Structures are given as structure tokens and as C-alpha cells.
Structure 1
Amino acid sequence: MSMIRRVILGRRPYRTAVPRRAKDVMSNPDCRPITLGFRVWYLIASVGDLDTAAEYARLAAFSRIKGEATESTCELIIRSMCLHKRHKDAYDLYDFFFNKHKLIPTNNCCNCIIESRFQQGLVDEALDFHRSIISRGYPNEDTLRVLTKGLVQCGRLDQAKAFLKAEKFPYSNRPDHVAFNNLIQGFLDIGNLDKANLVLDEFKRAWSDWSDFALSWHKPNSLSLQYEQKVAFLMTTFMEYWFKQGKEMEAMKCYERCVVANKLPVRSDTGSALLKILLKYGKKTHAWALYHDMFDQSQSGISCLRLDSGTVKKMVDECFDIGRCSQAIETYNKARTNNKFLDNTYIITRCCENGMLSEAESLFAVSLGRGFGGADVAIFKTMIASYLNAGRVDDALKTSNMMIDSSLIEVSKLF
């Protein structure tokens, strides 16, 4: 057990079954919402200790100010438990916050629990939970994505289709193109192209109804562009279907419909899906051309056109996989200049995996220079392992000491 974890775990107090006061959770509790949120984030992201994070997160129920910071803390711990497949812990926390202590659940918290139920194969329980929720703005678009995806994956396509009936929901919370795409994917996976096409037609009709309603606050040209971009996203699913059937010509027609024919600016979600398919089926020239177009478009500052981290990683991985390591770093650095959300953990790890220790050291130094949150424990551990593999024991020891010092500094700030 690391020193930093021993420091934190040493403070873990006895907790009663159903705490009614903050002091029942831990002695000398600090329930300030923003400070508490940072502590929970640090314990999850940097230390990887979900148990201690959950102890601190429970203090959110006793914060005097129940605002956005408190909601974010609840979301963070529940989502993290779900991501680590700790489904019972996630539901216990949901019950603690929203049933026992009467906080108002956000849509994201509700959606996490529904998705967790689906992942456990508890389909009826997921649907029962969905029906039981009374919360502002629920269900939202993300809810309908989770419901349709979960139902499709367990083979209940007809039930998924029922959730796409727009008349059941207010205009602001109607199913979006991703929810429709889940059903299209389900029908294509079982080889039913006709029904997949019918779902595509249903989306077009639903969009037409919505756009008639939305004309009062959207310009017609803006609505038309949104429509074309969403249809392009749906066409990526048909594109992969045709590739799987060995029908390259039909697949590339879908690609042209997505990108070429209408000269559309490529949204990040559509572009990422297209890149994945193009690389998977050997269309690497098309993939790089699309990536460069997306990069150029991302300079416009429009959020939906920004290169997300997953898109950049796809192309960096492609470079490493074919042995073009220098191009991988160049591709990453170029994207990093224009996207502050990219961190160096991923590229450092890939450099170490490919024996590029000097390049990893340079990137590691940049991360250290960013201060708080710049380099987490995972980066330190990666560098230590690489130094040891290279026989550089002194550098490994030096980096280990830096990790301890850095962690203790952060603990002193937050705890």
C-alpha cells in the first residue's frame, strides 16, 4: 500500500449503517460543497480509492448549500462505481443520497443506475426504476439513449422501438439520432436491413415534425444543417454493415453520403465513427484525409466540430501500430496545441510501450509543469516501470520520491 493511501485510509472513521449527521460519517467533517467535490475527485482520479471517496462523498448529504457542486459530487461517485462494475455500491449511494436524505437526483445519476441494471442483465428492474423516477427534466435525451441501447443489447427491439415514439415526450426531451441509431444497429446486427431502413425513415419523419415546431427559434438553414449531420451519423452504421457484408462499393456510397456529396462540416461524433470504420476496413488514405479535414474544421471554435480525445487517440494508435512513432507524437502534439482537454497520460504510456523513453521524459516534464492535476499517479507509475525496465534504477527511485512528494502536497491542500 502506498504512503499516500495509508495517510488517507488512516483517517477513515467508523460509520453507522444509516448516518443522520455528518459526524456519523467521520469525525471533524468538512461539508463545504466545492472543497468536498475536489476531495472526492482527487481520491478517484489520482489515488484510485473508491471506498474512501465514497466515505467523503456521503458528506454531500449534509452540506448546508444543496447546489451544483453537491450534485456533481453525487454524480461523480455513482458514475465511478458503475464504471468499475461496483453496481451494489452505486445503488447504495443512490439510495443514501436520494431516498434516505431526500436530495433531488440529477438525470445523470438516474441514467447511471439504469445503465448499471442493464449491465447486470436486470432488464425489468431497469425499466421499473425508470418508471419510478420523479425528477425535473426526466427523461432526457441521454436517458433514451441508455434505454434503447440496453433493450437492444438484450434483444428487446420492439420495446426499444416503443421508446422512440416522440408523442410520449415533450419536445425538449425527445429521442435523438443516437437513440434511433441504437435501434438501427440492433436490426442490422440480426441482418434485418428493411427494418433498419424503416427506423431511418421514422427518424426523418420525427425530425420533420420537430423542425416544424422549432422554426420559431431556429433559422431554416441551421435546422437543415443539423438534419444532414444527424443523418450522416446514422449512415455510418449502414456503412459498417455493408463492409461486413463484403460490399465495399455500397459501404463507400454511405461514406460519400456522410462526407463528400454534401460537403458537410463533420461533427466529432460522426467523424470518430467514420475514422474507426475506415481504419478497420483498410481505407487508411480516406481516414487520414478525413482526419485532416476534421482538424482544419476544429479550428473554427465550434464545439461540435472539436476533435475529441478518442478521435486523436485513434490516429495516434494507427501511427504506432504501423511503426511511425515520430508521426504519432507529431499528430498528438498538434492536436494538443488546440485542445486543452487532452492530457499526456495516454501518449506517455504509448511512448514507454514503444521504447521511446526520452520522448516520454519530455512529455512527463511538461505534465509536471502544469501544477495541480498535471500528472497523476498513473503517469508516475508508468515512468517508474519504464526506468526499471531500462535499468535506470536511480531515475526510478527519484521519480518514486517525486510521486510521494507530489501526492503529499495535494493531500495537504485538500485534506
Structure 2
Amino acid sequence: MSLFRHLLLRRSSAVTLRSFSTSSAQQAATAEPQPPPEELHTRVTSLIRSGNLDAASAMARQSAFSATNRPTVFTCNAIIGAMHRAKRHNEALDLYEFFFNSFKITPNIVSYNFMINAYCDEGCIDAALDVFRKMKADASIKPSLVTYQIITKCMINAGRIEDASDIWFEMLLDSGHTDSSVYNNLTLACSQLGNLDKANEFIDELKIRCPYYHHGVVSATYMNWFLKQGRDKDAMECYKSLLNRKCRMRPETGDVLLEVLLKYGKKTEAWDLFHDMLDNHTPSTFHGVDSDTFTLMVEECLKLGKVDEALATLKKVGTKPDSKPFFLDVDGYCQLISIFCAHDMLSEAENLFQDMYSMSMTPDASTYAILFDTYRRMGRKDDAYMLNNKMAEAELIKNGPTRIEL
């Protein structure tokens, strides 16, 4: 028995796998015809989006007993990933054991990454390493760059810098590819230890292996460390050096820089960067902003009590001739509704909520719950009652308006 399987079976928490009766599940699978894999995937992901992870897990588990319509690896990954995002790591690990070891469904790289991530988040560092080594020994599947990102960050968070460096070296030997996030993890660790010489070595290595990469995320790491030390001049020189490269930044890079600038009160630079990102937003050729970009800037306005400016920010568009407006995705709407509710901006939250429905977007369960709790907190029980009914109709709760305490 492998180490990770042994560790799984030793877990003492009450988990679904141990409470799930094999005989009863087999009977259920026999009594009820299972949907085809494509339809099953749609049903499971719909339950996940609604926040009903227990029902999604039960449906996917039951289908595993079917002789003809078993879940695909994509359905398995969907519920495992949802459990991990919900920080239900034990259940994510047990689902892995259930699908891929007990029922011999073939995992893919995403499956392994979820498992390593879950072990890392649980603090089971050696178990995560064991899975990583198993992947490397498996001729049919190899670690991806995401795998190296996860495992190096895990090692660094555990204070095992040398192990992280060894894994980075393995990445170079095995694949010949580089990844800026792995370098950033190592640079961050070295800078936090005050070893800037070693951090610079990693930066130089990155420049050699990826000369056209503009090092935005790594620059943000350096800036954060300098600003934390009160070395504003060094931080801003680092930032100006990055801007002088005249490279268009992807939203993930720009967002990290915005966070650092806003965190340390560099408001002017943050707004200038935001407007540059808007100017560079020219889909479908290039995406300069995302929902997180707008969420950061709106929240910054609200922290300063600038409500009108926050609402105006949502409508901002770049000034270049080919710049185009950005349209929020579901996650963006849900984040902003949460932010508006936190600032008692209920009418604005309601407007966004209605906009979602008008565009056939479905709010997730947590967004309903936030809006529902805000109604109650502000004494609008009738609206809370109506929203609760909507939640029941959408099958986000099981039994009508039972949450309201009149």
C-alpha cells in the first residue's frame, strides 16, 4: 500500500467515504438507471454551482457503481476541486481515493494537482511529496508547471527552502521549461530571509531562460519586500524599471502590482496603472483587465468613502481608439455584490443582482446568502422572505423559507 493511501485510510475525521454504504450504493445504482456521462457531468456541475456539494458528491459516487455509465475523470475532478475550494480537504482526498483507487478510474494531471494541493493545505508535506514522486515515476503522466508551482510554494511555506530549490532544479532537468511563478516563489522566500544575492540569482536565471518575460509578478514580490522594509525608493525604482520595458501586462500581473501599490499607499501609481490596463484592453487580441482588477479599484474607492467614484469606476473604459469596455463575469458580479453588501450599499447590490438575471447569469449560493443576510440585518424581512423563496426555487436550499426568524 502506498504512503498516500495509507495516510488516507488513517484519517480519523468523519468522512463521506466511510459513511457511504457500498451495498446500499450498489442497490441504488441497480434500482435507478444512471444518466450518460455527459448528462451526469452537467448535473454534478450544476449542483456544484448551486453550492450543494454533498448532493454533487453523492450523485458522482453513486454513478461509480454503474456498469455502463461511470463518471468521467472530468466529473471526478469537478467535485474534488469543489471540495478543495471549499476547504473540505479531507473529503477531497477521500473522493480521490474512492474514484481513482477503489474504482480504478484513470486520473489525469489535474487530479494529481488537486490531491497535492489538498495535502499541502492540510500541512501533510511528506504526503504531498509522495504523490509528486509517484507522478514522476509514472510513465503515463508527468508533473505540469502548475504541479511545480504548487509543490514549491508548499515547501517554502513549510520553511523547506532547500527542498523547494531541489524541486526547481528537477523541473529544469526534466522538462527544460521555466515558470515565472516557481521563480517568484523562490525569490520571495530568499528575500524574506534577507538573502537578496540568492534572490537575484534566480532573477538572472529567469532572464536567461525566458528573456521576453517582463517579470511583473517577480517585480511585485521585490516591491512588496522593499516597501515592507520601508525602502520606498528601492521599491519604486524596481517598479519604474518594469514600466520602462513598455510591455503590456496580463491582468494577473497587473492585479498583483495593483495590490502592492494600494497596500502601501501608492495611490497615484495604482490609478495610473489601472488606466494603462484599461487602455490595453483590446479583446479579442489582448485582455488587459479582469473582474479582479475592477474589484480591487472599487473596493479602494469604498474604503475612502467615495461611493460615486466607485460606481463610476465600474464603467471606466480605456481612452485608446481600439480600447474596449470590460464586461464582468459571474465571479466578478458575485464579488461586487458581496462588497456592496459589506458597505450597506443594498440598492447597488440589488442592481447588480438584477443585471445578472437579465444576462442569464446564475448567482452562486454564497451570493444569495450574503444578500439574504443583508436584508435581514437591515430589517427588510419581506425582501428576505422573497429571496429565500427564490433560493428554494433554484434548489439552493431544501425547504422553503425556513431560515427566517420572524
Smaller-chain TM-score range?
Answer: 0.7 to 0.9
Whether 1:56 aligns to 2:59 is: yes
AA of the residue aligned to 1:329: L
- 1:386 is aligned, of 374, 378, 397, to 374
Q: Is the 8 A contact 2:149 2:181 kept in 1?
A: yes
SS in 2 for 1:344: helix
Specify the SS of the correspondent of 1:108: helix
Partner of 2:46: 42
Maintained 8 Å contact 2:84/2:118: yes
Q: 1:9-408, aligned counterparts within 5 Å?
A: 15-17=20-22, 23-24=27-28, 27-46=31-50, 48-59=51-62, 61=64, 62=66, 64=68, 70-133=72-135, 134=138, 136-165=140-169, 166-171=171-176, 174-207=177-210, 227-229=212-214, 231-259=215-243, 261-302=244-285, 305-334=287-316, 338-342=326-330, 343-371=332-360, 373-407=361-395
| Alpha-carbon distance in structure 2 between the residues aligned to 1:378 and 1:84 | 11
State the Cα distance separating 1:286 from its structure 2 match.
0.5
Give the AA of the match of 2:134: S
1:63 positional shift: 7.9
Taking structure 1 as reference, are residues 243 and 102 closer, same or farther at Cα in structure 2, changes over 3 Å only?
same
Q: SS of the counterpart of 2:270?
A: helix
Contact 1:31 1:59 in 2 (8 A): no
CA distance, structure 2, for counterparts of residue 232 and residue 409 of structure 1: 43
Higher helix share: 1
2:139 & 2:312 partners in 1: Cα distance? 47
Given that 2:52 and 2:396 are in contact with CA atoms closer than 8 Å, whether structure 1 keeps it comes out as no
How far is 1:332 from its partner?
2.8
Between the aligned residues of both structures, percent identity stands at: 34
Structure 2 residue aligned with 1:212: none
| Cα pair 2:216 2:254 within 8 Å, conserved | no
8 Å Cα contact 1:16/1:25 also seen in 2:
no
Report if aligned partners of 1:183, 1:199 keep a CA contact under 8 Å in 2. yes
Once the two structures are superposed, residues 309-340 of structure 1 have per-residue CA deviations (whole angstroms, 9 ceiling, x without a partner) of 22221111101111112222332355895235
Name stretches of at least 5 consecutive residues in structure 1 with no aligned partner: 1-13, 208-223, 411-415
SS of the equivalent of 2:213 reads: helix
Q: What's the CA shift string for 1:338-359, capped at 9, x where partnerless?
A: 2352442222222223232222
Aligned-partner Cα distance in 1 for 2:101–2:335: 39
Q: For 1:27 and 1:358, how far apart are their aligned partners in 2?
A: 49
**SS of match in other structure, 1:288:** helix
The amino acid across from 1:357 in the alignment is L
Using the alignment, how far apart are the partners of 1:275 and 1:123 within structure 2? 32
Q: Is the 8 A contact 1:60 1:73 kept in 2?
A: no
Q: Determine if contact 2:156/2:189 at 8 Å carries over to the other structure.
A: yes
**Alignment CA distance shift 1:286-1:349 (3 Å):** same
Post-superposition shift, 1:84? 2.8
Aligned 8 A contact 1:266 1:294 in 2: yes
After superposition, give the CA deviation of every residue in 1:33-72 in whole Å (9 maximum; x if it has no partner). 23222222232221x3322221112255448578xx8232
| 1:141 CA drift (Å) | 0.5
1:235–1:257 CA contact under 8 A, matched in 2 = no
Shift of residue 409, structure 1, vs aligned partner: 12
Equivalent residues of 1:329, 1:347 under 8 A apart: no
If the length of structure 1 is used for normalisation, what is the TM-score? 0.80
What stretches of structure 2 of length at least 5 have no aligned partner?
A: 1-18, 318-323, 399-406
The one-letter code of the counterpart of 1:339 is: F
C-alpha offsets along residues 204-242 of structure 1, whole Å, 9 cap, x if unaligned?
3333xxxxxxxxxxxxxxxx5xx232x233222111111
Q: Distance in 2 between matches of 1:236 and 1:98?
A: 39
CA displacement, residues 97-120 of structure 1 (integer Å, 9 cap, x when unaligned): 212222221212111111221222
| Residue 31 to residue 100, structure 1, CA distance change in 2 (3 Å) | farther
Q: Which amino acid aligns with 2:345?
A: M
Task: Report the AA paired with residue 40 of structure 2.
Answer: L
TM-score scaled to structure 2, two decimals?
A: 0.82
Secondary structure of the corresponding residue to residue 228 of structure 1: coil
Which amino acid in the other structure matches residue 277 of structure 1?
A: V
**CA apart distance, 1:27:** 4.3
8 Å Cα contact 2:190/2:199 also seen in 1: yes
C-alpha deviation, 1:137, in angstroms = 4.6
* Number of equivalent positions: 370
Aligned to 1:6: none
